[in-house]
Amino acid sequence: MAKKDDEARKKVLRAYADRKDGHSQLCRDIERNEKAFLAVVERGADVEQWETQYTPPYAQQVVDTVVANLIDDRVRVNVRPRPLMADFQTRERHIAGARAHELLLSYQLDRDRWSEKKATFMQQAAICGFTVAKVHWVTEETPVRTLDQTEVPTYDDFGNVVGSEMVQEENVGSHVIRDDPTIDVVRVEDFMFEEAAVDIQRAPWLIHRVYTTLDELKRLQKAGVYSGVNAIPTDPDGYHTSQEDEFSTLYTELYGDKRNKNRVELMEYWCKESDGSQRCITLADRQYVIADRRFTFTNGEYPFVVCTTRPNRFRIPGRAILDSIRDAQSYLWTLMNQRLSNLRLVANTVVAYRDDLLDRELFEIYPGATVPVQGDVREAIMPLQLDSTPAMITLQAEALMKGDLQNLTGGMPFMSGTESSSIDQKTATGVSIVTSLAQRMVASQKQYITWAEERILQQMLHLNQQNIDADRLIPIIGQEGAEAFMSMGPGVRAGTY
């Protein structure tokens, strides 16, 4: 067993070491985009205190607008049986199965609150260039108190049974409240893949890094998910010393929060073996193998789905929206701060004085102030007449830059008061052209989201076929809220869809 664990540990650490440099570069690019999204700018050492450092989050507003246009309220599930040549009864069974899967998947998406998770899913794609979803099975139980009635015999004074009575007893048991597939949005900083891979389903291996508490690991060990958790060390107070996050420290810098504080780092290493089976090795703190499982999903795929709305040819990460507007936002900030700094100089009087006629220590300006001056005051003190042109000269350039921010992301500049010289947006024709271009770009990006959700639903369907071994009652909501139920048995679930 120790030899097998050593082989598994080396396998995971070798893959991690091979990809570490490339993944670090990817995370640095993501961090630059994240700072642009949050409008985080470090004040330069050569910037004076009086100079304006105004950084409105234009990129954040653009990203939020694009994401809002890409997200639909609900996902409409449409399941169809694959074309097949079969008898009438088989075809009818597949048609009924398709309808049952539609209802079941719609219920499971609502139960999993996918509509809420989708905002994070898509925002990550806009900022990072791609986003990842993990589809897996979850079983949740909760203690339930029940009041049961039991019939007990009654006796007379001589011990003879003379009848019976009903007695109520309170019992506590576990009840399964959920036994369905679920979708987790994965941080791309915690998702690693082999560097030459162009498609995750054809990648030799994948690594998904997560952080969890030691108590949670012990609970999962009791449930039979992990083993050897007790070997993970703790300090005398029961706390665990966490591994340092080598790839992302931005949120610690901004908010002081450490997402891995007192948590165990888990590396889930996924690979496909030569016999067609899948292998998942779970390595805790890069040292302890707490799970090494071989299994086969019915679809033969990794339980991950990658989505990008702007593909980058022959690469898994796509092109982020922030990649297009990050430099434009930075340059817009530069122009704006130059204008505002000049405006502060013009609005606040700059005074020249002769040091031989005026004591600087006694010179203070405030309403009603008196200043002792030797000689003619007009020779001792004189306000500088600064040119106000620099405070206004960048306005047109700023308007053009704001228009570029919208154009680069498929926005509609004429709706936000920005300008762009490429198309006359003051005419109906110009407005129509810009609107048509924006709609086409949004439609194209939505199609990539639809394809990703199709792959997610396909994996959920296969998990249902693989894990549901009893009849299911599926709720159906009809017109005007009318409710009904449909029974889904093994015969209905079978088939290819």
Weakest mean pLDDT among 50-59, 84-93, 227-236: 84-93
pLDDT digits (tens, 9 = 90+) for 62-111: 888 888 888 887 788 888 887 777 777 777 778 888 888 888 898 899 88
Q: Which residues pair with 94 in a beta bridge?
A: none
pLDDT at 136: 92
Token digits for 244? 């340092």
Lookup result for tokens 């067609």: 276
Residue 102's H or E segment, with its range, is helix 88-112
Q: How far apart are CA 468 and CA 181, in angstroms?
A: 10
Could you give the 3-state DSSP secondary structure of residue 441? Answer: helix
Measuring CA to CA, which residue among 243, 242, 225, 231 is closest to residue 280? 225
Q: Which residues pair with 137 in a beta bridge?
A: 181
Lookup result for tokens 């129509």: 432
Q: How far apart are CA 27 and CA 37, in angstroms?
A: 15
Token digits for 151? 């019939």
pLDDT digits (tens, 9 = 90+) for 307-341: 998 898 889 999 988 888 888 888 889 888 888 88
Q: What is the mean pLDDT of residues 110-120?
A: 91
Burial 107-136 (b: 16+ CB within 10 A, else e): bbbeebebeebbeebbbbbbbbbbbbbbbe
pLDDT digits (tens, 9 = 90+) for 427-477: 655 556 556 666 777 788 888 998 999 999 999 998 988 888 878 777 777
Could you give the 3-state DSSP secondary structure of residue 359? Answer: coil
Does pLDDT of 422 surpass 60? no
Please enumerate in sequence order all residues whose Cβ is within 8 A of that of 156, keeping only pairs 6 or more positions apart, or say none: 162
Who has greater pLDDT, 147 or 124? 124
Rounded to two decimals, the pTM is 0.82
pLDDT at 305: 95
Q: What is the mean pLDDT of residues 270-286?
A: 88
Does pLDDT of 378 surpass 90? no
> With bands split at pLDDT 50, 70 and 90, how would you rate the model's confidence at 304?
very high
- 66-69 long-range contacts, Cβ below 8 Å, gap at least 24? 66/126, 66/321, 66/409, 66/410, 66/411, 66/442, 66/445, 67/119, 67/122, 67/123, 67/126, 69/442
> With bands split at pLDDT 50, 70 and 90, how would you rate the model's confidence at 131?
very high
Q: How far apart are CA 434 and CA 449, in angstroms?
A: 23
Orientation of helix 2-38 relative to helix 321-347, angle to 10°: 40
Who has greater pLDDT, 111 or 354? 111
pLDDT at 431: 53
DSSP secondary structure of 150-161 = EEEEEE-TTS-E
Tell me the average pLDDT of the chain. Answer: 82
Token digits for 444? 């194209």
Helices (H), 161-256: 214-222, 250-255
pLDDT at 274: 82
Q: How far apart are CA 76 and CA 79, in angstroms?
A: 10
